[in-house]
Structure 1
């Protein structure tokens, strides 16, 4: 099975280290929740612990948006456990790690998700967002030297969730509270008219970045359109 956006995510089942114990986990365990499945190359390395610890420390934020996170490498569960048992200040992950570390010893999971470097037997830094129905919604792959962004991962999940709830689509640089686009040839013009008006106003030095569209004042900031409160009207702010 190959990982393709909009298709069912490749199934997996393997042993993981979960809170310093071995546990068999599978994709089906996460149905009903969003899942961030992220691959990393090797235990006991350099960029990898920075990513794992950052995602681990952000787990409460992920849980708030109905999301779980699982890390995967081609190391064994014994290697994972030894790394967990090393304190953070010594380059380890620390015994208080909550994030599951999945052992892909057969390399099948990494191969199914298209991140396996065959000649080295390690995974690239692939990140996969899987929705509560088990459908792959987003994927990205970094080469080995560069780590990923926890904040961007959360933003993407929030954007997909906003669309699922409201039916509107999220434009460039969208953040919670930013304006969205109605996916309709006519209704979309509200957003694009606001962008044009605000861009022109900002360029010409008028209205301090404010413009009025359909009776609402809007503001542009960092390329985002925001609804602004006018005489008690609804205000929507960016994060």
Structure 2
């Protein structure tokens, strides 16, 4: 892939790319979500089965995201009319109401800014990309899935909770961490700190690997 065709990728821990775009709930901008966490996620196309399962799962967990101050915002390179027709179809056929906005990105401006277009994988469609943006507008995580396989919405929700917990407590979280599990204490940065670590009351396997309960 040469520089001319390589997708432009946003950077982790950098300000998320700004946007202003039409959605099924009116025009939305990144600034509209200031003070809240945001899950921005793209899908290849409306009226496709894998995307339908994902959107229903996001909709069914929307209340859980809301409880942790997190909003949902979908996107595909389809028109608003297509999005409206698709969400109405989901409600009619599956009994699930899509309560979050969906960006109509016919211009591909948002998809391009976020690196959602992957030449060779998606052509002119946005792949299954998920972006976690914190309440200060900083991009904290990116997750990409292939066209053929759906995301785990449980994992997206878990990751938002883990990031918020790390921010609030200055800790890291181990593999598969869930709220209530022990967390990882940041490793010592000096020889003197390492000498003290084993006697600081943490659950330690060695000086660099210690856990604690919150």
Q: Which residue of 1 aligns with 2:20?
A: 13
Q: Which residue of 1 aligns with 2:167?
A: 164
CA-atom RMSD, angstroms? 2.7
Equivalent residues of 2:91, 2:98 under 8 A apart:
no
Deviation string, structure 1 residues 3-41 (Cα, Å, up to 9, x no partner): 1101111111111113xxxx0001110010000000000
Aligned-partner Cα distance in 1 for 2:92–2:212: 43
Which consecutive unaligned segments of at least 5 residues does structure 1 have?
Answer: 195-212, 214-224, 228-235
Q: Which residue of 2 aligns with 1:102?
A: 103
Give the deviation of 1:182 after TM superposition: 1.8
Aligned-partner Cα distance in 2 for 1:11–1:56: 24
Q: Which structure has greater strand proportion?
A: 1
Which secondary structure does the structure 2 equivalent of 1:29 belong to?
Answer: helix
- What is the aligned counterpart of 2:157 among 154, 157, 168? 154
Instruction: Return the TM-score normalized by structure 1.
Output: 0.74
Larger radius of gyration: 1
Equivalent residues of 1:2, 1:10 under 8 A apart:
no
Equivalent residues of 1:177, 1:226 under 8 A apart:
no
Give the deviation of 1:97 after TM superposition: 2.1
1:141 aligned onto 2:144: yes
Which of 1 and 2 has higher RCO (CA within 8 Å, sep 6+)?
A: 2
Which secondary structure does the structure 2 equivalent of 1:141 belong to?
Answer: strand
Q: Which portions of structure 1, spanning 4 or more consecutive aligned residues, are displaced by more than 4 angstroms? A: none
- Count of residues in Structure 1 that have an aligned counterpart in Structure 2: 196
Aligned-partner Cα distance in 2 for 1:146–1:25: 28
Instruction: Return the TM-score normalized by structure 2.
Output: 0.82
